[in-house]
Chain A
Amino acid sequence: MYGSPEDIVYLIDPVIFALQMILLVALLLLAIFYPYIRRRLARPHNITASVIGLFAGVDDAARSVRRLREDGFGEGDVTVLSSIPYPEGAFETDTGRSHIRLLALIGGITGAILGTALVAGTSIAYPLPTGGKPIVPIPATLVITYEATVLSVMLFSLFRFLYETRLPSTSDKLYDPRIADGMVGVIVRCETAEQARRAEETVSSLGSEETRRVEGRVA
């Protein structure tokens, strides 16, 4: 009824197995670096300049963001950088939904299936009768299935977090190390020179300690 262990061994050649592992690692690396690759391959937007304003206080920064939004800058055009998380709704530069929980659920289901398959599949392939127990006993299988499930939840959550935050990212993004000292940065991406001028004016007039304009497409 079962294939003999020898059959399975010759079916799964070590070289093929090694290739499968390499493919798996490559897929994992692809999953991690996918956002970066996607950005690299994406067609450039029409951004011609970016403006960054550094604020000493978070209230001024929040006011500045609201004014920019009133001036017609979209949600994706304004980014706030800070060294601590501010309460939800403080800036509203990112109102999109996170799918980390959904991916965690998918990860859990995937892990459960893979865990069960690993135990049941390989126990059938390498049958080892012991102590009158079935070859694939449910209680023992549940233990490994449980561990595989929770491990997958953690890994899927991590990968989804990296995907949604576009991390790891390269250093060609607008940033200022003074944000680490508590300053709040407001970045505005502009499509025209006129927009950049208006953004500079708004940010400066609302208490920015320093306003910089960077020409070209910077994330």
Chain B
Amino acid sequence: MAHEADAYEEAPVLSDEQINRDILRPIMYTDWRFFLVVGVLGLVVLWALFAFGWQLYWGMGVNGYTQSIFWAMFIINFVFWIGLSHSGTLISAILRVTHAEWRRPITRGAEVMTVLTLSMGALFPIIHVGRNWRLYYVIFYPNERTIWPDFRSPLLWDFAAISTYLTSSLIYLYLPMIPDLALLRDKMPTRGFRKLLYTVLSLGWRGTEREWRRLRVALALMAFVIIPIAVSVHSIVSWDFAMSIVPLWHSTIFAPYFVIGAIYSGTALVVTIMVLLRWVFHLEAYLTRSHFDNLCKILLAVAIAWTYFYFAEFLTTWYGRIQSEYRVVLELTSGVYAPFFYAMILFNFVIPFGFLIFPRVRRTIPVIFVISLLINVGMYIERFLIVIPGLSRSEFPFLWANWTPTWVEISITVGTFAGFTLLYILFTKFFPVVAIWEYKEGQMLRSHREIAGTQVVTVAKAE
């Protein structure tokens, strides 16, 4: 495939030692900037914990809820974070299933993104329900209170889907990391906590032919299985809304629309993270412009699909003119939510589509970094426009209200962004962010050939 060869043409041939050195550098050496960033992010997280403590002490009234707007920022965050989690493992799995060679430097960073964003997302239902000291009520186990979860509730489907996806993503992250953990075990110069950590986590991996063969089989199988899991998660999140009768929520297209939105925001975050990893860890030889070109092509295709789904959903409501729903549509297009609505269209369609169709833009990393950030701003607005307008203009006009977030909601939200960044940074400090063995395998499989007097790069197929 042409684009795969492009990615290799830009990537220099590196020795095993060089690859080890480049990718293990962030793990082996630490400078003051690391501590500074961790310190600042840690403080933000502490502030968010204080805000959560404040909410625990004073109750849910400290948030900007009204009688009708009882799902607000925490649910927006929940949908947003779960959506972000979508693409990491999904992209990795799809590229693995299709044997796309350019996946090699991307998969690990994307997979860990899924695990961490999913963890952040899973916090929000807990924060949202309030009275957290009674959280154990929702765990199903035989008890003397004679209560048991209602499996007909989409909220319980959420719990099942998210815990399944989190467990599966952890397995899918951990399994291909075992050989790299063994490498770290061997490379750690001194005995100590880290050596012990890698020794335990690498499970005694030696790299026998048996181990490699089984790893290949297991990964191929899991890649297939994890794709439908990812799709199910955001479908089920959409059903939290679609199973209700709130205007604009009760929609049959919500599941695929949510899935596409999730892939969109997740892919944009993969691009953002890859740009940052390339810049911070000097991975220019690994994450080439061609990798970003390929990711942006995915982004472009998903942007078009997202727009199509949004339009299909919007058109049906607009045409139907059902009063309760049309009222919300009017609020979106010409009411109090209009600035957000048009900003969403700008960030999610006009800018990505207008810029990413040009190959030169797709290879200009600072520009695509900004576009990827704007897409996620647009997607956050989209989550806001899904959750709030329908509740604020419900069937009963006497319940109409507008919602303003309080410092508690904002602090907790900012805290989870800081928490995600902090955990990602800590991951890069302890674990290789590029799959070293996969990258080396890719190097082994590539070679130069001469065709009609021109040197071309060819990639052999291992399986």
From residue B89, how far is it (CB to closest CB) to chain A in Å?
12
B151 in contact with A98 (CB, 8 Å): no
Check B205 for interface membership: any CB of A closer than 8 A. Answer: yes
Query: Residues of A contacting B160 with CB < 8 Å?
Result: 143-144, 147-148
Check A34 for interface membership: any CB of B closer than 8 A. Answer: no
Alpha-carbon gap, A45 to B45, bound state (A): 56
Alpha-carbon gap, A143 to B418, bound state (A): 34
Query: Residues of B contacting A168 with CB < 8 Å?
Result: 203-204
A100 in contact with B143 (CB, 8 Å): no
Alpha-carbon gap, A100 to B209, bound state (A): 16
Query: Residues of B contacting A8 with CB < 8 Å?
Result: 142
Check B232 for interface membership: any CB of A closer than 8 A. Answer: yes
Q: Which of B20, B186, B199, B226 contacts A179 (CB 8 A)?
A: B186
B215 in contact with A177 (CB, 8 Å): no
From residue A52, how far is it (CB to closest CB) to chain B in Å?
11
Check A161 for interface membership: any CB of B closer than 8 A. Answer: yes
Check B197 for interface membership: any CB of A closer than 8 A. Answer: no
B203 in contact with A167 (CB, 8 Å): yes
Check A55 for interface membership: any CB of B closer than 8 A. Answer: no
Q: Which of B161, B206, B463 contacts A173 (CB 8 A)?
A: B206
On whether A154 and B171 interact (CB within 8 A), knowing A6-B146, A85-B462, A147-B160, the answer reads: yes
Check A2 for interface membership: any CB of B closer than 8 A. Answer: no
Alpha-carbon gap, A84 to B213, bound state (A): 11
Q: Closest B residue to A58 by CB, please name it.
A: B444
Q: Closest B residue to A173 by CB, please name it.
A: B206
Alpha-carbon gap, A181 to B24, bound state (A): 13
Residue-by-residue, is A127-149 near B (CB-CB < 8 Å gives 1, otherwise 0)? 01010010001001101101110
From residue A114, how far is it (CB to closest CB) to chain B in Å?
12
Residue-by-residue, is B16-46 near A (CB-CB < 8 Å gives 1, otherwise 0)? 1100100000000000000000000000000
A100 in contact with B214 (CB, 8 Å): yes
Interface with B: A9-17, A66-74, A188-196, A209-217, which one? A9-17
Q: Which of A101, A143, A167, A180 contacts B20 (CB 8 A)?
A: A180
Query: Residues of B contacting A91 with CB < 8 Å?
Result: 209
Within 8 A of B (CB), among A147-177: 147-148, 150-151, 153-155, 157-158, 160-162, 164-165, 167-171, 173, 175, 177
Residue-by-residue, is B199-223 near A (CB-CB < 8 Å gives 1, otherwise 0)? 1000111111111111111100110
Most buried by B among A12, A90, A118, A157: A157
B217 in contact with A85 (CB, 8 Å): no
Interface with A: B56-64, B175-183, B385-393, which one? B175-183
Query: Residues of B contacting A147 with CB < 8 Å?
Result: 157, 160-161, 164, 229, 232
A84 in contact with B214 (CB, 8 Å): no
Within 8 A of A (CB), among B132-181: 140-144, 146-148, 150-152, 156-157, 160-161, 163-164, 167-168, 171-172, 175, 178-179
A14 in contact with B143 (CB, 8 Å): yes
Query: Residues of B contacting A133 with CB < 8 Å?
Result: 152
Alpha-carbon gap, A118 to B163, bound state (A): 16
Residue-by-residue, is B330-349 near A (CB-CB < 8 Å gives 1, otherwise 0)? 00000000000000000000
Query: Residues of A contacting B152 with CB < 8 Å?
Result: 130, 133, 137, 140
Alpha-carbon gap, A9 to B208, bound state (A): 51
Binding site for A on B (CB under 8 A): 15-17, 20, 140-144, 146-148, 150-152, 156-157, 160-161, 163-164, 167-168, 171-172, 175, 178-179, 182-183, 186-187, 199, 203-218, 221-222, 225-226, 228-229, 232, 236, 437, 440-441, 444, 462-463
The 11 sampled A-B contact pairs (Cβ below 8 Å) are A101-B217, A104-B221, A125-B148, A137-B152, A140-B157, A143-B236, A144-B156, A150-B232, A154-B225, A169-B203, A180-B187
